[in-house]
A and B are shown apart, each in its own frame.
Chain A
């Protein structure tokens, strides 16, 4: 039994773990990856371990070193598939083992929002965040001629990394206008270093950036070849003439969505806040949730990015104690929110989702099918899921829930809060049956009595 279990070893989780350790608690940190670092400070694979250092690899190494020299126990390559609170104790189920703790800190990060447009599942089209994993872990570029498209700061970061690693950026297709960026940069005025970085990114690709535009279609025989784009209005509705770009690869995404499956399974209250990326656990300024002994930090508590994450992690550890100290994240919060604001979906985006496009790629459910289900009366996410299978596949709805809700919002006029979320169910990740169970000794099968005859 630990005092504290932390799920997720990104910058928020690791800092939470170390802070909790400093406070004298016994701590275990769990991650499904092979080492700490999370998405942003992801470790390099062993084949590229000698590659030149980058800012993120330096920060990542510092994080890993700090964790190593602490008393925090670690468990990597461990997938948490279920979380339950029994009386005052947390049971954390990983593979066929159960770990227990008095407190639980969830730091599961975020995943990307990808608006489904025709051709989005073509080979060669990858997510923006997925692309960053390629760079960090394998130092690979997605192709030779890459279109980077979507919204928010990741566009420029990804473009920058592609060229640093020897790839060619054909164009950046940015939903955001220059004016959107100007507004965001202004918020960073108190943060000269960040402002400088943002300014550097944007100016480096200024000429290659097609502002206020969006891909409307990805085309290719069996791999991406062409990207068709259009200008968008202030509402992000595509307008005007089509323009065609050639590409052998596309990095595509519209910002990040908090990964809340774990905190929902743990029973915490959530609410919808578009300025934080969508549905988030309802918390105080330190990360205390509605459930005693449950804390959240990092992007899963609202997208504020890597700079805010370490402080949010420390706060979550401090929150265990009623009189814990609060570290100020004010400036990082402002910065994080300014970046998140660039990706708040606008109503016109829905026009990009063609009626025959698969919204749910696991089950092949189109926008038309979802709309039909809603128009004929299914309104809750559970009912839409039941009728169409949208979100029933292995991804558990991670990649389609947001688009499905956008469609629902459009058809019914309801708010996201009113639409709600489907019931949270385990496992948190698809789990091979023999990995979560022991082999059965048949005579030990607990038979609770046979059914009435």
Chain B
């Protein structure tokens, strides 16, 4: 590994791979480095929901663009546009739904409110306890299990070097750029992009940057193949449930219930105290699910900063160091925001503003 790359991208998730593709297209020579196989982090284990209704208001324009990218990737990533419902089972949730979905609609999502009769037409298997619901025809999903296969293929097609099973443990800066090492192996590059998902804090610290990143430990479950019991994406006013039934009949159940563990320690573990309410809520919404067998439950890490907005821009005061991560709904938004990031690195003006990693982080508020 004697040549010096124009940029070393640490992290082969959606963020890193997406940026690499854009950067290569713009004429630079990137290398993608991952400690494991490409696309086996959050990008490979997430629930795959491409729902406008669960996106944050300020991120909506990015989500709409991201959704479009997934649509273009199509069958290779298992893309499906099914439409999606968000449900409220009591007045408090109905109020929440009204307030939130109105704001999301105003931000550009095609969301309408639907009455229980219409809900029954869309999803006949839903519990007849619905007080209010909203619908978005654009909602759908892709198959996150295919992220690795898809991006590996794209990187190969574009002749982008990938170095897998290379766990970056040290990064040194010198006059020529960066030396990225794992044990006694070294990769050299003029620029660096950190896109390490749940481990972004850990890797940024190798450059002396202390970012207030925490990792959420999201839980997802999948069932055996079952007869058709739902047609589209089903969500809950609180965001605590997302469900969809794939073409093969398996049902994926998520909702951001928190498991145990830290990204530094491994892949995390489910917590029965949160998994079980997640499954209870799923059965409450779709009673026929109760006889269906759960085949597997797992966790993945989703990094965030206190304001829950992305880190996407230059890292600290350093020359040629960039960071991309902490994108809420990052599966949906990833393919788009990583393009913007690529543009910034290529010295182009990104189509939409990025998110300065050096901002002051207020709790849940963008400055």
Q: A425 and B294: CB pair below 8 A?
A: no
CB-defined contacts of B222 to chain A, threshold 8 Å: 392
CA separation between A387 and B296, bound complex, in Å? 17
If over half of B's interface residues share one DSSP class (helix, strand or loop), that class is named, otherwise mixed; here it is mixed
A386-B146, A437-B280 known; A452 and B308 CB under 8 Å?
A: yes
A93-B272, A437-B279, A452-B56 known; A425 and B296 CB under 8 Å?
A: yes
A378-B148, A425-B298 known; A450 and B96 CB under 8 Å?
A: yes
- Closest residue of chain A to B239 (Cβ to Cβ) is A451
Q: B167 CB to closest chain A CB, in angstroms?
A: 13
Q: A84 CB to closest chain B CB, in angstroms?
A: 7
Beta-carbon contacts under 8 Å, B238-291 to A: 238-240, 256, 258, 267, 269-270, 272, 274, 276-277, 279-284, 289-291
- Closest residue of chain A to B293 (Cβ to Cβ) is A430
CA separation between A98 and B273, bound complex, in Å? 11
Q: B164 and A379: CB pair below 8 A?
A: yes
| Residue from the list A378, A394, A437 in contact with B149, Cβ < 8 A | A378
Q: A445 and B290: CB pair below 8 A?
A: no
Asked if B317 is at the interface of the complex by the 8 Å CB criterion, the answer is no
Q: A405 CB to closest chain B CB, in angstroms?
A: 15
Beta-carbon contacts under 8 Å, A439-453 to B: 439-440, 442, 445-448, 450-453
A84-B269, A451-B239, A453-B56 known; A434 and B298 CB under 8 Å?
A: no
Asked if A427 is at the interface of the complex by the 8 Å CB criterion, the answer is yes
- Closest residue of chain A to B296 (Cβ to Cβ) is A425
CA separation between A445 and B296, bound complex, in Å? 22
Asked if A431 is at the interface of the complex by the 8 Å CB criterion, the answer is yes
Q: B292 and A433: CB pair below 8 A?
A: yes
The segment from B2-10, B36-44, B134-142, B338-346 found at the interface with A is: B36-44
Q: B37 and A453: CB pair below 8 A?
A: no
| Residue from the list B57, B145, B281, B292 in contact with A389, Cβ < 8 A | B145
Asked if A150 is at the interface of the complex by the 8 Å CB criterion, the answer is no
Q: B224 and A442: CB pair below 8 A?
A: no
CB-defined contacts of B284 to chain A, threshold 8 Å: 440, 442
Asked if A82 is at the interface of the complex by the 8 Å CB criterion, the answer is yes
Beta-carbon contacts under 8 Å, B139-158 to A: 145-149, 152-153, 156
Contact indicator per residue, chain B 222-248, by CB within 8 Å of chain A (1) or not (0):
111000000000000111100000000
Asked if B54 is at the interface of the complex by the 8 Å CB criterion, the answer is yes
CB-defined contacts of A425 to chain B, threshold 8 Å: 270, 296-298
Q: B297 and A426: CB pair below 8 A?
A: yes
Asked if A46 is at the interface of the complex by the 8 Å CB criterion, the answer is no
Asked if B165 is at the interface of the complex by the 8 Å CB criterion, the answer is yes
Q: A445 and B37: CB pair below 8 A?
A: no
Asked if B103 is at the interface of the complex by the 8 Å CB criterion, the answer is yes
Taking A82-B270, A379-B165 as known contacts, 9 extra A-B pairs with beta carbons closer than 8 A to each other, sorted by chain A number, are A82-B272, A377-B38, A386-B147, A387-B145, A394-B295, A432-B293, A433-B283, A440-B281, A445-B280
Asked if B358 is at the interface of the complex by the 8 Å CB criterion, the answer is no
CA separation between A233 and B297, bound complex, in Å? 44
CA separation between A427 and B279, bound complex, in Å? 13
19 A-B interface contacts by CB (under 8 A):
A84-B272, A376-B156, A377-B156, A383-B40, A393-B224, A423-B298, A426-B296, A427-B295, A427-B297, A431-B293, A432-B291, A433-B279, A433-B282, A433-B283, A437-B280, A440-B277, A440-B281, A442-B90, A451-B238
Contact indicator per residue, chain B 99-116, by CB within 8 Å of chain A (1) or not (0):
010010000000000000
CA separation between A450 and B48, bound complex, in Å? 20
Q: B267 and A423: CB pair below 8 A?
A: yes
CB-defined contacts of A246 to chain B, threshold 8 Å: none
Beta-carbon contacts under 8 Å, A34-82 to B: 82
CB-defined contacts of A99 to chain B, threshold 8 Å: none
CB-defined contacts of B351 to chain A, threshold 8 Å: none
Contact indicator per residue, chain B 23-45, by CB within 8 Å of chain A (1) or not (0):
00000000000001111100010
- Closest residue of chain B to A389 (Cβ to Cβ) is B145
CB-defined contacts of B274 to chain A, threshold 8 Å: 446
CA separation between A442 and B284, bound complex, in Å? 8
Q: A444 CB to closest chain B CB, in angstroms?
A: 9
Q: B36 and A380: CB pair below 8 A?
A: yes
Asked if B191 is at the interface of the complex by the 8 Å CB criterion, the answer is no
Q: B148 and A450: CB pair below 8 A?
A: no
Asked if A284 is at the interface of the complex by the 8 Å CB criterion, the answer is no
Q: B164 and A453: CB pair below 8 A?
A: no
CA separation between A431 and B279, bound complex, in Å? 12
Contact indicator per residue, chain B 153-176, by CB within 8 Å of chain A (1) or not (0):
100100000101100000000000
Q: A386 and B44: CB pair below 8 A?
A: yes
- Closest residue of chain A to B57 (Cβ to Cβ) is A453
Beta-carbon contacts under 8 Å, A174-195 to B: none
Q: B294 and A431: CB pair below 8 A?
A: yes
CA separation between A45 and B224, bound complex, in Å? 29
CB-defined contacts of A430 to chain B, threshold 8 Å: 224, 293-295
Asked if A382 is at the interface of the complex by the 8 Å CB criterion, the answer is yes
Asked if B314 is at the interface of the complex by the 8 Å CB criterion, the answer is no
Q: B136 CB to closest chain A CB, in angstroms?
A: 16
CA separation between A432 and B221, bound complex, in Å? 12
CB-defined contacts of B328 to chain A, threshold 8 Å: 452
- Closest residue of chain A to B273 (Cβ to Cβ) is A446
Contact indicator per residue, chain A 407-436, by CB within 8 Å of chain B (1) or not (0):
000000000000000010111001111101
- Closest residue of chain A to B289 (Cβ to Cβ) is A433
CB-defined contacts of A452 to chain B, threshold 8 Å: 56, 308, 328, 364
Asked if A87 is at the interface of the complex by the 8 Å CB criterion, the answer is no
Contact indicator per residue, chain A 385-402, by CB within 8 Å of chain B (1) or not (0):
111010011101000000
Q: B293 CB to closest chain A CB, in angstroms?
A: 4
Q: A434 and B283: CB pair below 8 A?
A: yes
CA separation between A450 and B100, bound complex, in Å? 11
Q: A387 and B282: CB pair below 8 A?
A: no
| Residue from the list B89, B147, B276, B290 in contact with A442, Cβ < 8 A | B89
